Amino acid sequence: MVLISLLLAALPAPKNIEKLVGAEAAQTPFNRGFKKLLESIANVTYGKRGKVTAVIVAVCGAAAIITGLQIKIGNPVEGSNLLWDDSEYNEAVRQINGNFPGVNTLEIVLEAKDQRNPDRVGRQAETIMTMLQLQNIMENGGEPPRATLSFADYLMEGNRLFSGGNPKWLPLDPTNEMVGAASIAVMLGSSPKAFSHVINFDIQNGTVSLWYKDNKQETVDSALAAAKKAVETVGADHDAFTVRLGTGTIALQQAMNDVVERYHWVIIGLLNFTILLGCSYAYKSIVAGLILLVPVNLSNFVLLSSMHLMGIGLDINSLMVASIGVGVGIDYGIYLLSRICEEYHAQGRDIGRANTAALSTTGKAIMFTASIMLLGITPWYFLSDLKFLADMGLLLDLLMLINMVLALVVLPLLVWLINPRFLRREDLLVGEGVDLSQYTAAREHEERLAHAL
C-alpha cells in the first residue's frame, strides 16, 4: 500500500487516463459489456429476482455442504499422490506391489518392559507364541495381508532344519527351553544384526511385519481395524512385554490423516472466530461479521465438494488450500460490503441501488483481481511435472473463482435480505466515511450526456 502510493506520487500521470477511467472509457464495447454484466448480477440480488436467487443459493449450498462432508481423509490413489500416475516412482510401486509382497508395511511391535532383562524377552516362549498368534489372526481375517513375517518364522525353520529337515518339527513347543534352543540354532554363526528387521540387537523388542497391496485409504483403514482387533484378542499387556500398534508406512500415513481429521475443523473454526471478531469490531455489528462469513464458508464447502467429486482426498498437502480459502475469500467480502455501506447513503438508503452501484465499481475490481490470479495460476496445472503443484493450481483456481462468484452474488443478496442496521451508521472503521452523493449526481450527469451523444 505504501509503495504503490509513493510510486503514484513519483511517476507521471498516464496520458491516456481519460481512455482508462473517464467518460471515453465508458463508451468502449468492453467496458459497456463489463458494466452490463455487473448490473445483471446486481439485478438478481434484490427484489423478486433476489428471492429466486436466495432459493437457488440455499439449494446449491445445501448440496455443497452434504457433498463436501463426504470428502475422504487420506490418500485415494496407489503410490504417492504428490506425483502423476505415470511417474517413475508410481510405476515402480505398482511393479513391486504386483510381483512382491509390496512396499506398504504395518508393524506390530512387541516392546520389552525391562530393556535389560537377562532372559532376553525376544526369545521367550510367550513372546514367540504371541507373534505366531498375531500372524495367524491377521492371515485368516477378512482382508488378510499379502505376507507376514516375525522372528518366530525363523525359529520354526531353524527347529525344522536342526531336526533333519522333517516338516513335523516345524511347530515350536511353547516352552522357554524349546524356544531358546531354536534361537541359538538360528543365530549360530551369525550376528543378531542379521535379524534386525524382525528383532533388535539385544533380542528384547520384536515386530510382526504385515505387507499390503497398496496404501489407498480403504486398505489403510481395513488393515488398522484388523490389527487393532488382533491386538485386543491376544492382549496388549503381558508379564514381560507390551504389544503396541504400530509403525510402518501404513501406520505413519494414518497418523498424518488423524491429525488432518482432528484439526481441520479446528483450524476453520479458529479462522471464523478471528474473522468474526475483527469484522464485528470494524463494522460495529456482529451481524456484519456473520454476513461476511456466510459466502466464505459456503465457498469452502463448494471447494470440498469439488475435491470429493474430482477424487482429491483431504490430506496434509491439500488441507492448507482448503484452509486458506477462508482468508482469501474474506477480502472480496470486505471490499464489497464497505462499498455497499458507502453507496447506501449516497443512493438515498436504497439497498437495490446501493448493490448495483457497488457491484459496478468495486465488483469490477474484484472480478479483475480474481481474473488476474486465475490467469497466473492456471498454467500450473498444465506445466507442472508434480501432480501436487498441478492439483494445488487447480484448487486455487477453483478457490478464486468460487469466492469471486459468491462474493458478487451472495453477499449483496444477504445485505438485501437482512437489511442490517449497521448500514445506517456513518462511524464505521471501514469505508471512505464521506458523502458520496455529490459524486453520484456528477456521475449520473456524465452518463446522461454520454447516452445523448
Question: Which residue range is the domain that position 299 belongs to?
Answer: 26-77+254-452
- pLDDT over 60 (residue 450): no
Residue 433 has pLDDT above 50, yes or no: no
**200 and 272 in a common domain:** no
Sheet holding 147-149, edge to edge: 147-149, 206-212, 104-112, 241-247
**DSSP code, position 450:** H
Task: Tell me how many domains the chain contains.
Answer: 2
Indicate the residue among 199, 224, 247 that finishes a domain: 247
Task: Let me know whether 221 and 274 are in one domain.
Answer: no
**135 falls within a domain:** yes
What is the structure's pLDDT at 348?
81
- Note whether 141 and 66 are same-domain residues: no
Quick check: is 86 in a domain?
no
Whether 215 is covered by a domain: the verdict is: yes
Whether residues 305 and 411 fall in one domain = yes
Amino acid identity, position 67: T
Q: Is residue 53 assigned to a domain?
A: yes
Task: Give the residue-averaged pLDDT of 118-140.
Answer: 94
Percent of the chain with pLDDT over 90: 36
Same domain for 105 and 202, yes or no, is yes
Residue whose C-alpha cell reads 504428490 in the numeric block? 82
Residues 279 and 378 occupy one common structural domain: yes
At residue 387, the pLDDT reads 85
pLDDT digits (tens, 9 = 90+) for 380-396: 888 888 888 888 888 88
Q: Alpha helix locations (H) across 124-238?
A: 125-139, 151-161, 176-187, 217-234
- Whether residue 105 contacts residue 249, with contact meaning beta carbons closer than 8 Å, is answered with yes
350-362, pLDDT tens digit by residue?
Answer: 888 988 888 988 8
Question: For residue 425, what pLDDT is reported?
Answer: 74
Percentage of the chain beyond pLDDT 70 is: 91
pLDDT band at 292 (very low <50, low <70, confident <90, very high): very high
The per-residue pLDDT for 298 is 92
Given this model, what pLDDT does residue 445 score? 56
- Does the residue 318 lie in any domain? yes
Question: Is 325's pLDDT higher than 80?
Answer: no
What is the rounded CA–CA span in Å between residue 378 and residue 381?
A: 6
Residues 316 and 437 in one domain: yes
Res. 33: pLDDT tops 90: no
User: CATH number of the domain that 272 lies in?
Assistant: 1.20.1640.10
Q: Are residues 320 and 381 in the same domain?
A: yes
Report if residue 355 sits inside a domain: yes
pLDDT of residue 19: 64
Report the C-alpha gap between 416 and 406 in whole angstroms: 15
What DSSP string describes 129-151?
HHHHHHHHHHHTSSS--SEEE-H
pLDDT over 80 (residue 441): no
Residue at a domain's end among 183, 212, 247: 247
User: Average model confidence (pLDDT) for the chain?
Assistant: 86
52-56, 67-71, 77-81, 299-303: which range is least confident on average? 77-81
Name the maximum alpha-carbon separation found in the chain: 111
Last residue of a domain, one of 212, 230, 247: 247
Residues 304 and 197 in one domain: no
Q: Are 439 and 393 in a shared domain?
A: yes
Q: pLDDT by residue (tens digit) across 227-280?
A: 999 999 999 999 999 999 889 999 999 998 899 888 888 988 998 999 999 988
- Residue with the larger pLDDT of the pair 285 and 17: 285
Q: Is the pLDDT of residue 442 over 70?
A: no
Q: Is the residue at 132 inside a domain?
A: yes
Model confidence band, residue 444 (pLDDT cutoffs 50, 70, 90): low
Q: How many residues does the chain have?
A: 453
SS3 assignment, position 437: helix
One domain, residues 231 and 271:
no
- Residue 24 banded pLDDT, cuts 50, 70, 90: low
Q: List, for residues 59-69, the tens digit of each pLDDT value.
A: 999 999 999 99
Quick: pLDDT tens for 41-53: 888 898 889 899 9
Asked whether residue 88 is domain-assigned, the answer is no
Q: What is the pLDDT of residues 162-212, one digit of tens each?
A: 888 888 888 888 899 999 999 988 988 788 889 999 999 999 999 999 999
Same domain, 261 and 397: yes
Model pLDDT, residue 434: 47
CB-CB contact of 247 with 109 (8 Å): yes
Grid cell for residue 327 = 482468508
